[in-house]
Structure 1
Amino acid sequence: MANKDRFQTGPTGFGAGRGTPELFTPQRILLLGFGLLIAAGTFLLSLPAAVAPGGDNSFLVALFTATSATCVVGLVVVDTGTNWSPFGQAVILGLIQVGGLGFIVVASLILVLTGRRIGLRQRLLIRESLSQNRVGGVVRLVIQIIVITLAIQAFFAAVLAARFIADFGWPRGLWMGVFHGVSAFNNAGFDLFGGFRSLTAYTEDVIVNLAVAIPVILGGLGFIVIVDLYQQRSFKKLTLHSKIVIVTTVVLLVFSTLVVLLLEHNRAFADLTGPGKVLAAFFQAVTSRSAGFSTVATEALHPATQFFTIGLMFIGGGPNSVTGGIKVTTFAILLLSVWTLSRGSESIDVRDRRIPLAQFYKAVALTIILFGLIFLAALILSVTEQADFLTTLFEATSAVGIVGLSMGLTPELSPAGKLVVTICMFIGRLGPLTIIWALTKPIKKSKLKYPEEQVIIG
């Protein structure tokens, strides 16, 4: 019994040791860690050295920017390229990198590099942050994630730097390449082009589009899928999780590209060449689920495209990635459940595997909670801001889904609106379920089972 009771488990099977205060459950440490990281970023961005001459680094602006960078969102109330000094931009880039990888992963790397021993409690935290089922091998997984991430970022940073050096010269072009390479893989959406323009000057530039879109897609798959791809090198050998993420991502990209192209080919894309229209539609499909970059101004898109984009932002990317939303696996499970119900089956089966009923419950709960949060945020913004409902709904979804796209409302937000969006970005990055588990006491499992009774549905 002593060994069995050694660790108390929480809602996800993780927990602190017996006698450890409940304050230090893995979920609460994640919550506290991100909060401290945002606080540090806010302090650094509030320093005079962080702001360009004539720029604004008031507390609310610094807090909003630090939260957006740490939560890899990309929504900004001041222009990143002109408001912040090189030091301020470096702080933002550091927050993006640490926030994207997760502070626990970064802290684990520091322990490994300094030769410190990673104990069981640290391994439990790593397991929680990476959504793993086992403690064994998590340190090796962290090292693989770091190496692969840095390799991908370095490659695409070099590609972008080679392209931007032609436009901005060596020092500026090199910095632009590094900044946007890191921002792209982390799906952060921050840019340095000034004037809130994002990548609109490169709408038909194939190199820039692909050098941003590809790392965005890779970052959106999730660290576990990337490592699985690196290790297996074969689709057939991948785990069911990786297969669902990849297939759903590809289907969404193809479908979204066709929809955007159909809606905008004679509207926002009217002045583009044929290949340029396809490239713009593809980039919009890629960026809408979490990246926040844009090659065509979001406010210039047709309302139908904007509404469709809200749906993509709600879905998001892969679990255990730098993306938000309900995640593509949740979306896939919900679709599979509809298919299962239509066939009269009682279980969700995929490739000779059965999806546990508990995961279906979690998918439904996450979808409802996220929908409710977006509804509440849009409702509040409709009261605090002078904007139409589609704009406020778009902004709320972008914040909760940690996407970063905006229809132009973010720079005009009132102080109350900034606080609402800041809170939404924080919740969207950590995940509503993690925050709920961090703020509530776990319910002990009961062996008592009540008799069933049917409730009429539909």
Structure 2
Amino acid sequence: MPNYINILKWPPPRILVFGFALIIVLGGFLLTLPIASNDGSRLSFIDALFTATSATCVTGLIVVDTGTYFSVFGKVIIMALIQIGGLGFMTMATLIALMLRKRISLKERLILQEAMNQSSMEGIVRLIRKVILYSLSIELAGAILYTLRFSFDMPFRRAVWFGIFHAISFFNNAGFDLFGHFRSFTMYVGDPLVNIVSMLLIILGGLGFIVMADLLEFRKNKRLSLHSKVVLSMTGILIAVGAIVIFIFEFTNSKTLGSLDWGSKIWASFFQSVTPRTAGANTLDYSQMRQATVFFTIILMFIGASPGSTGGGIKTTTFTTMIGAVIAMIRGREDIVLFKYRLGKDRIFKALTITMLSLALVIFVTMILSTTEDQQFLRILFETTSAFGTVGLSTGITPELSHVGKIVIILTMFAGRLGPLTLAYALGPKTEKELYRYPEGKITIG
């Protein structure tokens, strides 16, 4: 049995799991307070815990309507949980330590390395400073643009509040909104400014802070790292392909794209292609989409965003590595080569492990929910993948989940935010170095 008594001696993955769990429980308790609701009623603890988990894990699945149920206090708590969950509690703790001019210890650097999914500690504090600066700057710009647009539809003070909340929510890929009645951004389906600002916030939040740092320093360095090249190219491909597929599948669907003009069709197609990359907002009703579109969206949600970002999923780099492995095998090559660089075997094994663990989790949870919930299989699979990828898109079944279903989705969102591999490292026994190797054997594959 692992020793859970001395927290300071825990490995970084276990501290991350414990830290996120503690924040979720605290947020859930605050959301049960009467002051958190508009009518002064107490939200049941299971619903409060679900909402806190969804906010901290930057998912966006909701069991009560955020815009109409919660008071300003409740909405501020949700917004704070989104910010902490998106940037990571260790990043926020580092911000406080830097403001107080405290030294970042070796243990804290190791935890930051794990939280940011970095391969080494070199320059980790410098990276955290950039993360905080970039995040706050992008959120501020998004809040200003949203405020200017929303001020045409509501009083200015309310527009400012809506601008700040949605900028934080979208940049952190959370998908929470304040418009009420589970509408998300459907009323802005053809609005160019809202679509552009929303998609930019989602994409920038999903690229990862390493890529953003690379892009900002490109003028000085005149080059991008292999990681940035892979992330940018795969992100562009997924967005373009996603928009084309959704446009084709939904073009004649009168309940989604069919009733819109050409401009709105294009905006909606791109928005619905971007948002499954773990953002959770929508301008079309997913419950009215064709099954082919819903299934294709499940694939996009499973892939998710990029490492070191505010998003979830198996990540674009993992997906690219798996595709590279398939191409290399078909061509009869031993190495996976991306942009004239060969990937190490450890990267390939890690990508395979993450993909298989994630797939196993989605299948297992879908089987459980298929037993506990009276819903269509595709909707359950959609909800499960949305929870795992911390996306937040829903076909409308979340508020109808049983208590068991809600608990299962809570655990899935938690596992999706931290990653199955991190959870395995955190909860599993301490690994020991192998002292010997077995002789090589051969089996027939395929």
Task: Give the root-mean-square deviation of aligned CA atoms.
Answer: 1.4
What one-letter code is carried by the residue in structure 1 that aligns with 2:286? T
CA distance in 2, matches of 1:23, 1:73: 31
What secondary structure does 2:342 align onto?
Answer: strand
**2:434 matches 1:446:** yes
Contact 2:336–2:343 (CA under 8 A) maintained in structure 1: yes
Deviation of the 1:351 alpha carbon: 2.3
One-letter amino acid matched to 1:417 = G
The Cα shift of 1:234 comes to 7.9
Q: Distance in 1 between matches of 2:7 and 2:37?
A: 41
Tell me the distance in 2 between the aligned counterparts of 1:423 and 1:104.
21
Q: 1:115 aligned to 2:115?
A: no
| Whole-angstrom distance in 2 between the partners of 1:117 and 1:22 | 17
Matches within 5 A, 1:303-314: 303-314=291-302
By how many angstroms is 1:124 displaced?
A: 1.4
1:393 has 2:381 as partner: yes
The structure 2 residue matched to 1:363, chosen from 337, 341, 351, is 351
Corresponding residue SS for 2:327: helix
Query: Which residue is 1:186 aligned to?
Result: 172
Give the distance between the partners of 2:260 and 2:143, measured in 1 at CA: 27
CA contact (8 A) 2:189 2:264 kept: yes
Pairs within 5 Å for 1:49-448:
49-53=35-39, 57-233=43-219, 237-267=223-253, 268-448=256-436
Structure 1: how far apart are the matches of 2:326 and 2:124? 35
Mapped to 2, the partners of 1:397 and 1:133 lie a distance apart of 27
Partner AA of 1:96 in structure 2? I
Deviation at 1:448, TM superposition (A): 1.1
Cα distance in structure 2, aligned partners of 1:126 and 1:21: 16
- Give identity over the alignment, percent: 46
Q: Which residue of structure 1 aligns with residue 3 of structure 2?
A: none
Which secondary structure state, in structure 1, belongs to the residue aligned with residue 152 of structure 2? helix
Q: Counterpart of 1:76 in structure 2: which amino acid?
A: I
User: How many angstroms apart in 2 are the aligned matches of 1:57 and 1:81?
Assistant: 15
State the alpha-carbon separation in 1 of the partners of residues 176 and 28 from structure 2.
Answer: 17
Is this contact kept in 2: 1:55–1:84, CA < 8 A? Answer: no
Q: How far does residue 23 in structure 1 lie from its aligned partner after superposition? A: 5.4
Work out whether residues 34 and 42 of structure 2, in 8 Å CA contact, stay in contact via their aligned partners in 1.
no
Q: In structure 2, do the counterparts of structure 1 residues 265 and 51 end up closer, same or farther at CA, with 3 Å as the change threshold?
A: same
Report how far residue 442 of structure 1 moved.
2.7
Aligned partner of 1:53: which letter? D
**Number of aligned residues:** 439
AA aligned opposite 1:101: L
Distance (Å, rounded) in 2 between the aligned partners of 1:23 and 1:372: 31
Distance 1:348 1:117, change over 3 A: same
TM-superposed CA distance for 1:118, in Å, is 1.1
Unmatched 5+ residue regions in structure 1? 1-19
Q: How many angstroms apart in 2 are the aligned matches of 1:55 and 1:241?
A: 49
Q: Which residue of 2 aligns with 1:13?
A: none
Task: Answer yes or no: is the 8 Å Cα contact 1:235–1:243 preserved in 2.
Answer: no
**Structure 1: how far apart are the matches of 2:420 and 2:57?**
14
The amino acid across from 1:420 in the alignment is V
The alignment's TM-score, normalised by the length of structure 1, stands at 0.94
Structure 2 distance, partners of 1:251, 1:21, is: 43
CA distance in 2, matches of 1:95, 1:262: 37
Distance 1:88-1:348 versus aligned 2 partners, 3 A rule:
same
- C-alpha change, 1:194 and 1:290, in structure 2 (3 Å) is same
TM-score by length of 2: 0.96
Q: CA deviation at 1:21?
A: 6.9
**Distance (Å, rounded) in 1 between the aligned partners of 2:42 and 2:151:** 28
